[in-house]
Structures are given as structure tokens and as C-alpha cells.
Amino acid sequence: MADAVRPHPDVVAFLNRVADEGREGDGFLDEMAGLPGGPEARAAIRGYLDTYGMRCVGEIDITRTRWSERPAALVPVLLGNVRNFAPGEGGRRFERGNRESYQKERDVLARLRALPGGEGRAEETKRMIDRVRAFAGYREYPKYGMVNRYFVYKQALLREAGRLARSGVLREDEDVFFLRFRELEEVVRTGEVDAELVRERREAFRSHEALTPPRLLTSDGEVLNGRRRPADAPPGAMAGLAVSAGVAEGRARVVTEMARADLEPGDILVTAYTDPSWTPLFVTVAGLVTEVGGLMTHGAVVAREYGLPAVVGVDRATRRIRDGQRIRVHGTDGYVEILGSASRP
């Protein structure tokens, strides 16, 4: 998308206004089509949405707004790629990573062959490497298919909710999200709804959103609290879980909503958690710090795939680290240091 937008200054300026205004819906795409280069940019964005528009932040929650419902949520990330990378950077990064992976394969196999009985070990390792290369990508298919279906379910539910709202049964379309399926079937059959029940559930949902879940909850419901500090961590360092090795130093960008991300190469992303919708941000940043996570949660896995030092499970990271501060992420030892303040460019 960035390669389709970058050559057209009028389109870039227009998308900057869209990001500043926080547009809803997809009307801006048709408006953009009237600009020089606009039809090409619109076609690229719509092509992306045709494939990935059912995704969004927190996509397991069927009620969340999908990218195809609010394409403007993608605009800040798109503009970040326009601003920070040259044309064709995606292909170059892929080829560079491909070359590095084959070089690593050659290095590993050569070291194995130098061992006693190494030829057999190298052959077996080569078979495993080929197997991983052939099949690793398929792990994404179940989630992709599941989220695709969720969006179909949501559209069907909202069509029925719209009919009920127009006939005065529901106060608004979103009321349907506070009914169970059996309750919705009854509402459709009778044309009546328990408005007080919907109101109570909506209020309960809002109160639950304001809660901060405990970091550790046992199967018996016991909340465990405590402080930890890695043995080698300097005083004042923030402890977490080491999930991707290496050390990164840079400007902290505290991001609570992906749609408001404003990142530059070398920045360190600090957020509560990530899910697949955050992956486009990883191409820009130099490291990752999250409040929630473990060795196999999304941010940890993608950080390792991208070679980014990462520390997760840092208590209240988005409040203890200020946006713009210079920090150092120790992804091998599992702690974060605040080095000083830094002004925004």
C-alpha cells in the first residue's frame, strides 16, 4: 500500500488529514479517488481490505470494529511506512532475511559435519529445516479462517439487529451484542426484548473494561503479588520476562491504540499487549516492551521472528515509561532501563 501511495504528494497530504481527523467509515477512499494518483492508491487499499479487512485489534471479540468497517485505523501505520521506507522496501527485507536464513543454515550444517558422526546429524537437521520452511506458514491459517468467519457472523448479526432496531424492538444495533444467542432467537420470534437486561449488561461491560486484571491468578482464584528483579539488573530497572534476546536502545513510544501509532525507525514500542493486528508496526521498531505476555504470546513470538529484543510482563510499563524517554531493552536478561528524556521530533 505504501508503494502505491508514496509517489503521490496530494494523496499523502490527504491521508495525513484523514489521520488527524480520525475519520469513520470508508467514505474517504472515494474522496481520495479524485486526486492525482488517488485511483491507484484506493485500489491498493481496497485490495488489502479484501484480504485482511476482517482483522482488527482484539479481533477474537466479535464486537470489535474491523478494518474494513473503519479503514482509517490503518492510515497512521500506512503513513509511517511511506515516511520511513523507500519504495520496494518490503521485497528487499524479505530477500535480505532469506539470504541470512540460508547462510545460517550453511553455518549450522558445517558445524554439525565437523562433529563425530556429523554427516548423519547434518542430514537429519537439513530435513527438519526444510520441513519448517515448507510448513511453518500454515500455522496462520486456522486463525485467519476463524477471524474470517467471525466477520461473517458479525455482519449477519448486525443485519438482523438493524431490522430489529428499525422496527423499534432494539434501541440500537449494538444492543444485539448484549444478548445470548437463545435470547436473540426469542427476541426475533416474539418481537420483544428485556430492555433492562440489555442496559444492565451494557453497564456491567463498561465497569469490567475499567478493571485492571491481576498479573497472576491461580486456578483456585488466588491473586499472587510480588516484586522481582533479575540478579544482574541495575538499581531502578524494570523487571520483566526475557522473550527475545539482544539489547536495544532508543526512544520509547508508548502506544495504547494502534490507530494512533507514530513510529520511526529505531523507536521502541511500549504497549499493554499486542495481537496479530499490531504486526505491521514491528517492521519499524527496534525493540518491544509489553505489560502482558509470556514466551509464546504474540508479541514475544513476532519479536523473535523479526530479531527484535523484547521484554514482556513489565508491570505498568505504559505508565512508568513516558512517551519520548530514552530506554534500553535487555531482551536476554529480562529488564528495561530508563536512560533519560528525549524530545519528540
Residues 98 and 64 in one domain: no
* pTM exceeds 0.85, yes or no: no
The residue from 32, 50, 84 where one domain ends is 84
Does 344 have pLDDT greater than 60?
A: no
Same domain membership, residue 100 and residue 75:
no
Reply yes or no on whether 298 is catalytic.
yes
> Of 25, 59, 84, which residue constitutes the final position of a domain?
84
Which of 35, 31, 39 has the alpha carbon at shortest distance from 10? 35
Long-range contacts of 92-100 (CB under 8 A, 24+ apart): 93/283
pLDDT in tens, 137-190: 888 889 899 999 999 999 999 999 999 999 999 999 999 999 999 999 999 999
Indicate whether 20 belongs to any domain: yes
Tell whether 156 and 182 lie within a shared domain: yes
pLDDT at 27: 87
Residue 108 domain flag = yes
> Does 15 reside within a domain?
yes
Instruction: Give backbone dihedrals phi and psi of 28, rounded to 5 degrees, phi first.
Output: -65, -25
State how many domains the chain has. 3
275 in the same domain as 165: no
CATH of the domain at 320: 3.50.30.10
Q: Is residue 216 part of a domain?
A: no
Asked whether residue 264 is assigned to any structural domain, the reply reads yes
329 Cβ contact list (under 8 Å, min separation 6) = 247, 248, 249, 268, 287, 288, 289, 309, 310, 311, 336
Distance, in Å, from the CA atom of 137 to the CA atom of 176, rounded to the nearest integer, reads: 36
The 10s digit of each residue's pLDDT in 242-283 is 999 999 999 999 998 887 788 889 999 999 989 888 888 888
Residue 345 has pLDDT above 70, yes or no: no
CB atoms closer than 10 angstroms to residue 67: 23
- Answer yes or no: do 66 and 102 share one domain: no
133 with 80, same domain?
no
Residue 73: inside a domain, yes or no?
Answer: yes
Instruction: Band the pLDDT of 300: cuts 50, 70, 90.
Output: very high
Q: Would 156 be classed as within a structural domain?
A: yes
Considering 8, 208, 298, 330, which one is annotated as catalytic? 298
Lookup: cell for 65: 470494529
For strands 326-330 and 238-239, give the pairing: unpaired
**Pair (336, 242) in one structural domain:** yes
Would you call 337 exposed, middle or buried from its count of C-beta atoms within 10 A (0-12, 13-18, 19+)?
Answer: middle
Full strand arrangement of the beta sheet holding 287-290: 238-239, 335-340, 326-330, 247-254, 268-271, 287-290, 310-312, 241-244
Amino acid 343: pLDDT: 53
In this prediction, residue 210 carries a pLDDT of 86
Residues 254, 325: one domain?
yes
Residues 242 and 308 in one domain: yes
Q: Quick one: pLDDT at residue 192?
A: 94
Name the percent of the chain lying above pLDDT 90: 71
Does residue 233 belong to any structural domain of this protein?
Answer: no
Q: Tell whether 325 and 282 lie within a shared domain.
A: yes
Q: Which domain holds residue 321?
A: 238-340
